[in-house]
Amino acid sequence: MHALVLLHVLASIIGIGPTFFMLVLYRRDQSAADLVASLKLIHALEYFPKIGGTLAVLSGLLLTFTGSYGPFTQLWLLGSLVLYITVQVVVIALLGPLTKRLSAWSASTSSSRLTTDATSWLASAHRLTWVANGLAVLLVGLMVLKPR
């Protein structure tokens, strides 16, 4: 059981951790060259949430069904699952398309300045990153402060 808890905690850190770096990578006050470098890092980091997040959910479900955490219908447990799914929706369904637009823009330009569209997409990505980070903090809070 301790090994499963360890796997769950490590997978959660690996899965959620890169979300916090996105605040720096999607900062609004960067040059076009900085944005190109940030997009390369974002692409490299996107594997961690996919793998770590999947392991965190699977290990969390295993812990729930095999541990002594009580019924699955507890508010902290359902809340955690809903928060995790919401973070995934924000990152994959909302932030993902903005990242693709920014990547397509950066691949098609040699300008050292951000266009109005790129600036708008970057600002939206920055706001969504704050939302994802806030939800992730709430998620970690529920996991740590869960009733015993």
Provide, rounded to the nearest whole percent, the portion of the chain with pLDDT above 90.
56
Chain segment 79-128, per-residue pLDDT in tens? 888 998 899 899 889 999 999 999 999 999 887 889 999 999 999 999 99
The Cα-based distances of 112 to 9, 30, 36, 93, 122 in angstroms read 42, 11, 10, 29, 15
The span from the CA of 23 to the CA of 94, in Å, is: 15
Q: What is the pLDDT of residue 77?
A: 86
Tokens found for residue 70: 């009580």
Q: Which domain covers residue 12, as residue numbers?
A: 2-144
pLDDT band at residue 70 under the 50/70/90 scheme: confident
Q: Give the pLDDT mean for 52-78.
A: 86
The span from the CA of 72 to the CA of 66, in Å, is: 11
Which of the given ranges, 44-53, 62-71, 99-108, has the highest pLDDT on average? 99-108
Whether pLDDT at 73 is above 90: no
Angle at which helix 2-25 crosses helix 116-144, to 10 degrees, equals 150
The number of domains in the chain is 1
Q: What is the pLDDT of residue 148?
A: 62
Tokens found for residue 133: 């980070």
pLDDT band at residue 32 under the 50/70/90 scheme: very high
Q: Model-level pTM greater than 0.85?
A: yes
